[in-house]
Amino acid sequence: MQVLTKSYPKNCLLAIMDRYSAVVHKMEQVVMFPSLLQDVHGRWAGGPDLYKCFTMLKAICVDVDHGLLPREEWQVKMPGGDSSEAETEAAEMEEADGEVLRQLDIEAQFHLHFSSLHRILTQLTLKAEEVTKIYQEMMEQAM
């Protein structure tokens, strides 16, 4: 199956984003009953179950496909209302990262964020492929 619909250079961020989006959409088509993924863990032992991964991957895919919500709308949709522990932790990390980033020049900052985004999207794509594969194996065993 050809995953990419557009032609980009192999390591182009747009190609990585398209691949991630395509893999998540395939995962959504294959996983007919996401609740079956509850309490099932993949190779990342101790992490969230595959149902939580499934919902996280779908939520991130919306951002990849349609862009980010404004910060105010994102905060309202966070569980717990305006202020949550995750937001506080993110703000603290942002402050710490901000100090490091102020010391780097703008080009170095760009390369740092670009390579991080590339790596994260690649990891998320592998995670989506794993969720799809485990679900397919579960369905084969059930038959």
Tens of pLDDT, residue by residue over 21-56, are 999 999 999 999 999 898 888 776 567 889 999 999
pTM over 0.75? The answer is: no
The per-residue pLDDT for 9 is: 84
What backbone phi and psi angles, to 5 degrees, belong to 23? Answer: -65, -40
What backbone phi and psi angles, to 5 degrees, belong to 90? Answer: -65, -40
Neighbours of 106 (CB within 10 A): 8
- What are the C-alpha distances in Å from 133 to residues 34, 107, 128? 13, 39, 9
The dihedral sign for the CA sequence 50, 51, 53, 58: positive
Neighbours of 137 (CB within 10 A): 10
The per-residue pLDDT for 5 is: 57
| 90 pLDDT more than 70 | no
CA angle 14, 28, 7 (to 5 degrees): 25
Highest mean pLDDT, choosing among 64-68, 103-107, 118-122: 118-122
**Percentage of the chain lying above the pLDDT 70 cut:** 69
pLDDT band at 4 (very low <50, low <70, confident <90, very high): very low
pLDDT band at 13 (very low <50, low <70, confident <90, very high): confident
